Amino acid sequence: MEESNQTFIEFANEWLKINKDSKDVKPGTIRVRVHEIGKWLPYLSRLKLKNITRKRYQDALIDLKDQGYSDSTMSGINRTGRMIFRKALEMELIKKDPTEFAYLKKDKKTIEQLKEEEIPKYLEKEELALFLETAMDYGLEHDYLMFLILSYTGIRVGELVSLKWKDVDFVNHTISITKTYYNPNNNTLEYLLVTPKTKKSRRKIIVDEEIINALKEHKEVQDQIIKQLGDGYYNKDFIFAKMERQHGYPIVIKTVQNRMARLLSLAELNTNLTPHSLRHTHTSLLAEAGVALEQIMDRLGHSDDQITKDVYLHVTQEMKKEASHKFGQLMRSLR
């Protein structure tokens, strides 16, 4: 068997095309893979596949980790690298798989790193796009709208399930948060609507047009059901109302948790995440977009919250590290 002279970038593009043509691979997954391949390009791009040694692959992993990427991000980068080289091995383009004995570097735990481990897990933007696409394609009743609102607003899950149509201003594109849902026994009929835990939690959030349009579509479907069921529908104006059995009652929080676990599994994302993780995801993406901490706290309904501050600080520090790394790469390329 004669090894191929293909470069890493050439074969990576070929591998992506194979994946794109597969009916089993969702477009969102492809976007994540493209993002992860991008992390490999500074190290392997122009090298021939056959010349990429285990040491070179491992050194690249170590350098990427030293840039401060999280364990979950590194796991994704390594997984994509392994899939590419295993496909090359399967196609007999190379004789040895350079990823075979690769390991992901674990730093010694400093006080700062232990503190970082306390930062809640959240989805990176590519992962969020994949999650929402999975909800759109494979979600059950309410799923896409629920998770779109949670991730685009950062509201709490109790605030979500207690939302009523009167809370939505379709003209000014706002949602008012005035209450939360209390139901410790998860009994659909025994819910309570209570005031938010702090004054700051009562707030009006400006939302994206995509949410407004999705709400309009949902309302049309719901109105048809109310019309069909008449008095058989418990009509208390809930947006996320049950459409089967106990029609009209708000869905329980446990349902949202179960639905999220199902979609995370389908999307092959971290199944330890919860609906509250989408609140941290919203925080991280606002920080990445350059929104000030005070504005984020106001949007989330926080007067003071250390976890939100920790997530914000973590993301902005990562951005600074990346800026420094890019500058270093630029200068090295001039030598």
Domains of the chain: 8-107 (1.10.150.130), 125-318 (1.10.443.10)
How far is it, in rounded angstroms, from Cα 29 to Cα 173?
31
Strands of the sheet containing 168-169, edge to edge, are: 168-169, 174-177, 203-206
Per residue in 199-243, pLDDT (tens digit) is 888 999 999 999 999 999 999 999 999 999 999 999 999 999 998
Q: What is the DSSP letter of 107?
A: -
pLDDT at 29 over 90: no
Percent of the chain with pLDDT over 90: 64
Model confidence at 325, in pLDDT bands (50, 70, 90)?
confident
pLDDT of residue 50: 95
Greater confidence, 334 or 159?
159
List all residues 6 or more positions away from 6 whose beta carbon is below 8 Å from its beta carbon. Answer: 14, 48, 49, 93
Model confidence at 107, in pLDDT bands (50, 70, 90)?
low
